[in-house]
């Protein structure tokens, strides 16, 4: 039997319209012992609402991240999060909204609730190069001022992860883009990420458990290669 001491996989739960909540609860329950956590976003909330989030939370006591890619004034972000704050361990926001009136207020709200803040400093899709990546130094400056728990950087462009790792050694780096978007399991870890976010490669597989076991094996290999 293989035991994953600490999995590096966080599974993105992004339901397409019409899929039942039961299906997702069954997936999270079956993967609970094999992964580090799960991430839900707007598709999940529009499909199943706060009661769905509560059901997911009860299905597995792992890290649960609300990924609404927040990018608003602090008052609005806090109002939105107040509906879910009791059920999540982490929240993802965009770094580009800046500190005053934005991220500072969000961070103090999350700190008081004991919930982790994760900032996006680069994205996995090609369009990230248009605006976000040309400002990555400034986004890392924002992150350095705020010191959130984590950063999102793309497994599809490992050099951005290595760069962020060097500039933000204090941060937990989460790397999406593995599987359908083209990165291979381990690409993000090898570049210095702590976790890889994987969605459809796992959730659309006929046997998600077997796919996660394979991914965990790739992560062990990647950690050995990078000497960690
Ligand atoms: P998938 O592995 O099915 O492509 O899903 C990727 C997940 O990671 C989605 O939930 C998406 O919102 C998220 N994500 C991403 O793909 N790229 C980013 O730059 C940031 C993300 O959070």
Q: Quote the radius of gyration of the chain (alpha carbons, Å).
A: 17
Residue appearing with tokens 């950087």: 153
pLDDT digits (tens, 9 = 90+) for 39-93: 999 999 999 999 999 999 999 999 999 999 999 999 999 999 999 999 999 999 9
Active site residue 69: yes
- C-beta of 88 in contact with ligand 1 (< 6 A): no
pLDDT score of 2 more than 80:
no
C-alpha to C-alpha distance for 41 and 173, rounded to whole angstroms = 18
**Strand-strand pairing, 150-152 and 63-70:** unpaired
Ligand 1 centroid, distance to 1 Cα (angstroms): 31
pLDDT of residue 227: 80
Terminus-to-terminus CA distance in the chain, angstroms? Answer: 23
Average pLDDT, the chain: 96
The ligand 1 atom nearest the CA atom of 124? 19
Instruction: Write phi, then psi, for 142 (nearest 5 degrees).
Output: -55, -50
Residue 3 pLDDT grade (very low, low, confident, very high; cuts 50, 70, 90): very low
**CA atoms of 31 and 216, how far apart (whole Å):** 12
Burial of residue 115, with CB atoms counted within 10 A of its CB: 0-12 exposed, 13-18 middle, 19 or more buried = buried
Among 69, 107, 147, 213, the one annotated catalytic: 69
Q: Is 103 helix (H, G, I), strand (E, B) or coil?
A: helix
Query: For ligand 1, what atom is nearest to the CA of residue 92?
Result: 22
Verify whether ligand 1 is closer than 6 Å to residue 150 (CB atom): no
Q: Is the pLDDT of residue 158 over 60?
A: yes
The C-alpha atoms of residue 116 and residue 90 are separated, in whole angstroms, by 4
Residue 38 to residue 42: CA distance in whole angstroms: 14
- φ/ψ of 63, rounded to 5, equals -50, 125
Atom nearest to 180 CA in ligand 1 = 4
What is the 144 CA–ligand 1 centroid distance (Å)? 23
Neighbours of 191 (CB within 10 A): 24
pLDDT tens digit string along 96-155? 999 999 999 999 999 999 999 999 999 999 999 999 999 999 999 999 999 999 999 999
The finding on whether 181 has its CB within 6 A of some atom of ligand 1 is yes
Q: Which of 12, 93, 128, 158 to mutate to test the pocket of ligand 1 (most atoms within 8 A of CB)?
A: 12
Tokens of 48: 């199943």
Which are the contacts of 41, defined by CB distance < 8 A and separation ≥ 6?
12, 14, 66, 67, 68, 69
What pTM did the predictor assign? 0.97
Element (H, E) at 177: strand 172-178
**Measured from the CB, is residue 118 less than 6 Å from ligand 1?**
no
Q: Give the side-chain half-sphere CA count within 13 A for 199.
A: 20
For ligand 1, atom 18, the nearest C-alpha belongs to 123
């Amino acid at each position: 039997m293989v035991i994953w001491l600490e999995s590096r996989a966080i599974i993105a739960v992004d339901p397409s319209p019409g899929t039942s909540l039961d299906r997702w609860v069954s997936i999270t329950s079956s993967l609970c012992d094999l992964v580090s956590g799960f991430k839900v976003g707007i598709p999940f909330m529009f499909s199943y609402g706060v009661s769905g989030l509560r059901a997911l939370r009860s299905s597995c006591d792992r890290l649960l991240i609300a990924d609404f890619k927040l990018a608003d004034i602090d008052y609005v972000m806090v109002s939105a999060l107040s509906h879910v704050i009791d059920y999540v361990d982490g929240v993802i926001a965009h770094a580009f909204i800046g500190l005053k009136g934005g991220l500072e207020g969000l961070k103090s709200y999350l700190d008081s609730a004991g919930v982790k803040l994760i900032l996006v400093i680069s994205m996995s899709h090609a369009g990230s190069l248009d605006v976000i990546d040309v400002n990555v130094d400034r986004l890392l400056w924002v992150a350095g001022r705020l010191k959130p728990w984590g950063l999102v950087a793309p497994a599809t462009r490992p050099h951005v992860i290595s760069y962020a790792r060097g500039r933000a050694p204090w941060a937990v780096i989460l790397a999406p883009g593995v599987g359908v978007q083209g990165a291979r399991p381990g690409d993000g870890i090898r570049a210095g990420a702590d976790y890889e976010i994987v969605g459809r490669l796992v959730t659309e597989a006929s046997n998600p458990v077997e796919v996660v076991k394979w991914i965990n094996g790739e992560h062990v290999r990647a950690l050995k290669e990078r000497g960690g």
